[in-house]
Chains A and B, each alone.
Chain A
Amino acid sequence: MSIAVLTLATLAFLFASLLVLAHRKLHVDEDPRIDAAFLMLPGTNCGACGYPGCLGLAEAMAEGKALPGKCTVMNEDEREDVARFLGVDVGAEEKVVARLACAGGTNVARNRAQYEGLGSCRAATLVAGGGKACFWGCLGLGDCEAVCDLDAIYMNEHDLPVVIEDDCTACGDCVDACPKDLFSLHPVSHRLWVACRNLEKGDAVLADCEVGCDACGRCALDAPDGLITMVDNLPVVDYSRNHDAKKAIERCPTGAIVWFDNKDGPVTGHAAHKIIRQGAKRRAPT
């Protein structure tokens, strides 16, 4: 009995000392702030900051390589909390959001054929382009809505995705998911926006979509010198210059070029014709 107790006690002492030694010898110095900062981050692991997940950003912040402003998921107060905790600047970065370069919902854009098959834009594109009359336009089957982890995209009543700018973190998942490459990431200050990718011009465009750009070039004429140029029948805004020029949208006959208003979202010019046609709802069979 006493031998057993003695043996076990010796062993326990031996292993305990080994553990103590190992703890001393193999100890890795880690900034304790990393864990704390990591817990303060939202934990969505969206990657919009450019680091592999929230832990990656926490490490970078603790090392001083990044500022809390990198995180696009947190709101202003949360960012300030993290900055105060780490004793750094917030590092204000301009908010970047995903924008869709198409306005052709089912109420304005025509379908040439009815697509039947898997309910995904990527699958539909492979079947003769998906049946929409405009080859460049949004198919409206919602791959972007499905891929958005933050539910910042919803499909409106005309099967067109709408980005909720407050929730969008510009992670870029929708940019990858869209088979027509209609999404791109833009700072919110880019308020002049061309919501069309159709490379045709004139009646060929209007036959397919009421809100397509028919390449009339009025926006390029109205914008301050050289801000907008027409390339391949589409206006291209030079965002490197001062583009605070709402005047450019006013004479657009279709409303293809829009102005992102802080309150009301995208607004069209006064000359844009009213949308009369209300198309039938289209849904792929399940």
Chain B
Amino acid sequence: MLNLVQKDSFRNGIHPPEMKDETSHLAIRRFPFAPTLVVPLSQHLGKPASPVVRAGQEVTRGQTIAEPDGFMSVAMHAPASGVVRKIALAPGIGGNMVESIYIEPHPASSQEVDDGVPCMLETSTPDEIIGAIQRAGIVGLGGAAFPTHVKLKAPEGKTLDTLIINGVECEPYLTTDHRVMLEQTADIFTGIRYLMKATGARECMVAVEANKPDAVRKLRKVCPPDLPVTVRVCPVKYPQGAEKMVIRSLLDREIPSGGLPVDVGAICVNVATTAEIGRLLPRGRGIQERVITIGGPGVEKKGNYRIPIGTTVRYALEECGASKDISRVFLGGPMMGPSVSNLDIPITKGTSGITAFTDAQMDEATGHKKIYACIHCARCVEACPLFLNPSQLGILAKKEEYERMAQEFHLMDCFECGACSYVCPSHIPLVQYFRLSKKMVRKLSAAK
């Protein structure tokens, strides 16, 4: 019931252990180059990029190695100076095989980056900024990897008034956005200037969860007086960091079912994405590295690392001294991060962290628990931040009534935060049911 009266927040949600203290005070460190870097051509939602390099070609760090193929696509840049070994299939996050560029860095490859054509804030038009963001290969670094330039372009007849910079980071274990807010504060405000010019937003809010008071202080101190930016503090609650929840908390606007933030005149950009825009655009560079948190009980040298895109999870874990008996690895946090079946998959732009657990801990936490029938306790209903009915949806999913789930119970609005599965006393894997159901609904509607 406390949820009802909380200011600057949304209703429902859960309070999983935050587990951020182990890494939140550790400064971002650089990561060494792996012997082979694997850069997938599809690290974003949308069409894969088309490569512009050949096998055997020398590339320099920061050089464009793949151009965007259409509007729903972004460029890729070489993470290190070296030789392109081959362009072939490599395992991807979804367990699938994706076309990737294999780069072998030179043994003494430096951290030096080639500067490209800069996109200056003062002289560029909004369209030029949006084009530069696409060429810089910038996607949502929070995890969804949605191409940022696509959401900056408001559809015809819709206007944006508020830009929300999302620094909530509600996922347990992850501290990348926290460190970026502390260490790249100036870049964030440069990025905000670019984004406000590109979108025409009049107002900007930076949302930070109350468990990062140092970040709030730093942002308020550095904030330039001429920018219409307010730093807002949200109560600690999961999934506060979801786009719909941030907009609901800060603006008290509700995105309609099946709608986008632009439908309520807002746009939400991750804070690390904003910092990268502010850091890369003035120098004409592209994303060739990103900040990730490597943590979890299975890792010895926990920390926040600026890691080259294309480093394999295996190399990253070995460098960080992962224990021998790790049994489950998540890309991102344990709530929403996909668990991986293959340690040879590369870290992509959408990877915000690696969280590793050992067998003993998994057994203690969730392992091998029997699934019981739904007892209609409605804890999932109280947890769902979108006011869906996970209990009913779960029962329908079991009966494979996918169309009814979509039409009567708004299945497609679910963004798979996992709050319902987390609270379910019967251990029903609700989110897995919903992922499957959403896929089946898409398949059925495509067949029609």
A: residues with CB less than 8 A from B are 112-113, 115-118, 120, 122-123, 125-131, 133, 135, 199-200, 285-286
A135/B429 contact (C-beta < 8 A), A118-B436, A122-B439, A122-B440 known: no
6 closest Cβ pairs, A-B complex: A129-B95, A113-B341, A128-B341, A128-B95, A131-B341, A123-B436
CB of B333 to closest CB in A, whole Å: 16
In this complex, how many residues of chain B approach chain A with their Cβ under 8 Å: the count is 22
Q: B341 contacts A130, CB within 8 Å?
A: yes
B-side contacts of A113, CB under 8 Å: 340-342
B-side contacts of A199, CB under 8 Å: 89, 97
* B339 interfacial by beta-carbon distance below 8 Å: yes
Q: Known pairs A123-B432, A135-B97. 20 more at Cβ < 8 A?
A: A112-B342, A117-B429, A117-B432, A118-B432, A118-B433, A122-B436, A122-B439, A123-B433, A123-B435, A125-B95, A126-B432, A126-B435, A127-B95, A128-B338, A129-B94, A131-B95, A135-B91, A200-B89, A200-B97, A286-B371
Tell me the complex Cα distance, A120–B432, Å.
11
* B93 interfacial by beta-carbon distance below 8 Å: yes
Q: List 24 A-B contacts (CB under 8 A).
A: A112-B342, A113-B340, A113-B341, A115-B341, A116-B368, A117-B432, A118-B429, A118-B436, A120-B436, A122-B440, A123-B433, A123-B435, A123-B436, A126-B436, A128-B94, A128-B95, A129-B94, A129-B96, A135-B91, A135-B96, A135-B97, A200-B97, A286-B370, A286-B371
Q: Mark B337-375, 1 if CB is under 8 A from A, else 0.
A: 011111000000000000000000000000010110000
Q: B429 contacts A128, CB within 8 Å?
A: no
Tell me the complex Cα distance, A125–B443, Å.
15
* Residue of A112, A128, A199, A200 with highest tally of chain B CB at under 10 A: A128
* Residue of B93, B95, B96, B340 with highest tally of chain A CB at under 10 A: B95
Q: B368 contacts A285, CB within 8 Å?
A: yes
- List the A residue with the shortest CB-CB distance to B435: A126
A-side contacts of B94, CB under 8 Å: 128-129
Tell me the complex Cα distance, A130–B95, Å.
7
Tell me the complex Cα distance, A127–B339, Å.
7
Which residue in B341, B368, B433 is a CB contact (below 8 Å) of A129? B341
CB of B288 to closest CB in A, whole Å: 26
CB of B9 to closest CB in A, whole Å: 31
- List the B residue with the shortest CB-CB distance to A204: B89
Tell me the complex Cα distance, A285–B435, Å.
19
CB of B317 to closest CB in A, whole Å: 14
Tell me the complex Cα distance, A133–B91, Å.
10
- List the A residue with the shortest CB-CB distance to B91: A135
A128/B436 contact (C-beta < 8 A), A135-B91, A135-B97 known: no
CB of A204 to closest CB in B, whole Å: 9
Tell me the complex Cα distance, A131–B94, Å.
10
A-side contacts of B370, CB under 8 Å: 286
B-side contacts of A129, CB under 8 Å: 94-96, 341
Tell me the complex Cα distance, A117–B97, Å.
22
Tell me the complex Cα distance, A115–B368, Å.
11
* Residue of A117, A127, A130, A199 with highest tally of chain B CB at under 10 A: A127
A-side contacts of B439, CB under 8 Å: 122, 126
Q: Mark B101-127, 1 if CB is under 8 A from A, else 0.
A: 000000000000000000000000000
Interface residues of B in 50-101 (CB under 8 A from A): 89, 91, 93-97
- List the B residue with the shortest CB-CB distance to A233: B89
* Residue of B342, B370, B440 with highest tally of chain A CB at under 10 A: B342
A-side contacts of B97, CB under 8 Å: 135, 199-200
A-side contacts of B340, CB under 8 Å: 113, 128
A128/B93 contact (C-beta < 8 A), A113-B341, A118-B432 known: yes
Tell me the complex Cα distance, A123–B437, Å.
9
- List the B residue with the shortest CB-CB distance to A129: B95
- List the A residue with the shortest CB-CB distance to B436: A123
Tell me the complex Cα distance, A135–B97, Å.
7
- List the A residue with the shortest CB-CB distance to B371: A286
Q: B436 contacts A135, CB within 8 Å?
A: no
- List the A residue with the shortest CB-CB distance to B362: A116
CB of B448 to closest CB in A, whole Å: 14
Tell me the complex Cα distance, A130–B339, Å.
11
B-side contacts of A285, CB under 8 Å: 368
- List the B residue with the shortest CB-CB distance to A200: B89
CB of A223 to closest CB in B, whole Å: 26
B-side contacts of A117, CB under 8 Å: 429, 432
A-side contacts of B435, CB under 8 Å: 123, 126
Tell me the complex Cα distance, A285–B93, Å.
24
Tell me the complex Cα distance, A285–B342, Å.
21
A127/B432 contact (C-beta < 8 A), A116-B368, A122-B440, A135-B97 known: yes
Tell me the complex Cα distance, A118–B431, Å.
11
- List the A residue with the shortest CB-CB distance to B329: A113
Which residue in B93, B95, B368, B371 is a CB contact (below 8 Å) of A135? B95
A-side contacts of B95, CB under 8 Å: 125, 127-131, 135
B-side contacts of A115, CB under 8 Å: 341
CB of A160 to closest CB in B, whole Å: 19
CB of A198 to closest CB in B, whole Å: 9
A-side contacts of B338, CB under 8 Å: 127-128
B-side contacts of A130, CB under 8 Å: 95, 341
- List the B residue with the shortest CB-CB distance to A285: B368
CB of B411 to closest CB in A, whole Å: 15
Tell me the complex Cα distance, A129–B338, Å.
11
CB of B357 to closest CB in A, whole Å: 13
CB of A173 to closest CB in B, whole Å: 13
A-side contacts of B89, CB under 8 Å: 199-200
CB of A118 to closest CB in B, whole Å: 6
CB of B393 to closest CB in A, whole Å: 14
A-side contacts of B91, CB under 8 Å: 135
Tell me the complex Cα distance, A199–B433, Å.
30
B-side contacts of A118, CB under 8 Å: 429, 432-433, 436
Q: Mark B384-414, 1 if CB is under 8 A from A, else 0.
A: 0000000000000000000000000000000
B-side contacts of A126, CB under 8 Å: 432, 435-436, 439
A-side contacts of B433, CB under 8 Å: 118, 123
* Residue of B93, B368, B436, B440 with highest tally of chain A CB at under 10 A: B436
Tell me the complex Cα distance, A207–B360, Å.
29
CB of B252 to closest CB in A, whole Å: 35
Tell me the complex Cα distance, A115–B339, Å.
10
A-side contacts of B339, CB under 8 Å: 127-128
Tell me the complex Cα distance, A7–B341, Å.
84
Q: Mark B311-342, 1 if CB is under 8 A from A, else 0.
A: 00000000000000000000000000011111
